[in-house]
Amino acid sequence: MKITVMTSDEQFISLDVDSDESVENVKALLEVETKVAIQQQQLHFNGNEIKNSDLLSSVGVRDGDLITMLVTSERLSADQLRIAPDGSAVNPQAFQQHIRRDSQIMAQLLQNDPQLAQAILGEDSNALQDILRLRHQQRLEMRRKQEEELALLSADPFDVEAQRKIEAAIRQKGIDENWEAALEHNPEAFARVVMLYVDMEVNGVPLKAFVDSGAQSTIISKSCAERCGLLRLLDQRYRGVAVGVGQSEILGRIHVAPIKIGQQFYPCSFTVLDAPNMEFLFGLDMLRKHQCIIDLKENVLRVGGGEVAVPFLQEKDIPAHAREERIANLQGAGSAPGSSGPRERSPSVPPSPARPSGAPSAGLAVSSDLEAKIKRLMELGFDRESVKYALELFKGNEEQAAAFLFG
């Protein structure tokens, strides 16, 4: 049979129950629907309270009847609200119900600790327990630091170790204050920076172009050049190595092809890299040539001194593979041994085959045979560093190194 329950806030709940169902089981169903504990429910039928042990048929409840539910202010016992030594609640359901009923506490939690507030309002008691344990650990850590600071204040002023700890505490306090000031005045510094992409067409093929003023040359990948029908124009005499954060092989150069920015066409030259994860990078050479302005106030790229303006893409419009590659690069840079942190910079192409300063050496041992090759190549007019780099690149092959240096 179907019965209707009217709550104290005038909500109507329809339940499908058996006529011989106990009142206690009906309360259990209502607890699921209303989040009100069984102990706080009072059910009334025809003006009389019905007890948990009563059956619906015995108190005269029939199909289609209306039952009224009142919520009592029965307080939970202290044992039900007890906190375990690890900070978790002994009875998480009772703890949730107790906090939910106190609107003032919930308002404070929603403002000061929204994560804990969401866990209390949610249904996952395990997540609530984990957050309570975490908050307990944080309180213990804060208390430990306070005790250390008090101990330092009473320490011997002539103790070198105590003075060192006081200096470290003062320095850390300055760092914490600086962090709090940044959260208040510069919160965007903690957000992820969206890289600059614009819509372009290369030889009639639409692309998402990465605008990077930190890259010397405009770069296109081999697969992208093939898709744009430009690979037939590849000049392999300009083979080499692009050195930046890591290295990539330069397959050659495409000297000129049309690109469309907005509604205007511009001539552009490309360096072709064997880099499948990067399709098209609009570098400093073309930014200078076409007098481009990166206008971050209006969030547009202005070309030709301002005659054309195209908006930078929002993060949702950036190609998925570009976002995934960037995250992988950041994680790799952050975990690399000796890394000083993530470096968000695209590979820059050296103007000549000579190895730039700071490029990593492959570490060939300088034998007498290698020294003779170095001297012979230096006699052709190249400096020692460039010669060593070329020999290392081609594993000591003198002819290939010479062709690389001349190329």
| 212 located within any domain | no
Active-site choice (212, 235, 274, 369) = 212
Q: Tell me if 6 sits within 8 A of 67, measured CB to CB.
A: yes
pLDDT tens per residue across span 247-273: 678 899 999 999 999 888 999 999 998
Q: Quick one: pLDDT at residue 81?
A: 66
User: What amino acid is encoded at 196 in this protein?
Assistant: L
Domain final position from 42, 71, 100: 71
Q: Is residue 65 assigned to a domain?
A: yes
Where does the pLDDT of residue 199 fall: very low under 50, low under 70, confident under 90, or very high at 90 and above?
very high
Tokens representing 26? 């009906």
Statement: residue 302 has pLDDT above 90: yes
Distances from the Cα of 32 to the Cαs of 25, 27, 28, in angstroms? 11, 9, 7
Tell me which residue range forms the domain holding 240: 217-324
Last residue of a domain, one of 22, 39, 71: 71
Domain-terminating residue out of 71, 94, 128: 71
Task: Give me the number of domains the chain comprises.
Answer: 3
Q: Angle, nearest 10°, between helix axes 384-393 and 398-406?
A: 120
Q: Do residues 309 and 398 both lie within one domain?
A: no
The CATH number for 239's domain is 2.40.70.10
Among candidate residues 330, 333, 394, the one with its CA nearest the CA of residue 364: 394
Residue 95 belongs to some domain of the structure = no
Whether 212 is catalytic is yes
Kindly report whether the global pTM for this prediction surpasses the value 0.75: no
**In-domain check, residue 259:** yes
Q: What is the CATH number of the domain that holds 374?
A: 1.10.8
| 318 and 384 co-located in one domain | no
Looking at the chain, the number of H-run helices and the number of E-run strands are 12, 15
pLDDT at 244: 62
Lookup result for tokens 């594993």: 395
